[in-house]
Amino acid sequence: MPFKKVHLYVALALCCFAYVALCADCPRIKLKRQWGGKLSKNIDFRPVPIKYVIIHHTVTPECDTFLKCAELLQNMQHYGITTLGLDDIAYK
């Protein structure tokens, strides 16, 4: 095996190891359909690539299981749509 290929394989292995080591505690993003979310009443498409992303948080109890977190999201969406009259979760 040529010397350059060995370096490439070593670099690839190190990248894979670093990814696993660094992302072991990363949160997993779930799709709306996975947590039981309803479709939005209105979709406002944005140009790609998106220049900025805003991370929004709420004052809710912590959740430590997927089912508890899904229930919190469903309740937030229900409140935003039915009580506040919004198209989706109250993040605007």
- pLDDT tens sequence across 11-48: 666 665 555 556 666 677 788 899 899 988 887 777 78
Residue 85 backbone class (left: φ over 0; alpha: ψ -120 to 50; beta: rest) = left
pTM surpassing 0.85? no
Would you say residue 32 lies in a domain? Answer: yes
> Which structural domain, as residue segments, surrounds residue 52?
27-83
Q: Which of 70, 5, 86 is nearest to 35 (CA)?
A: 70
Burial of 86 (0-12, 13-18, 19+ CB in 10 A): middle
The answer to whether residue 56 is domain-embedded is yes
Note whether residue 40 is domain-resident. Answer: yes
Long-range contacts made by residues 79-83, C-beta under 8 angstroms, separation at least 24? 81/38, 81/41
63 within a domain of the structure (yes/no): yes
Considering the domain boundaries, does residue 20 fall inside one?
A: no
Is residue 12 situated within a structural domain?
no
Structural domain contains residue 91? no
**How many domains in the chain?**
1
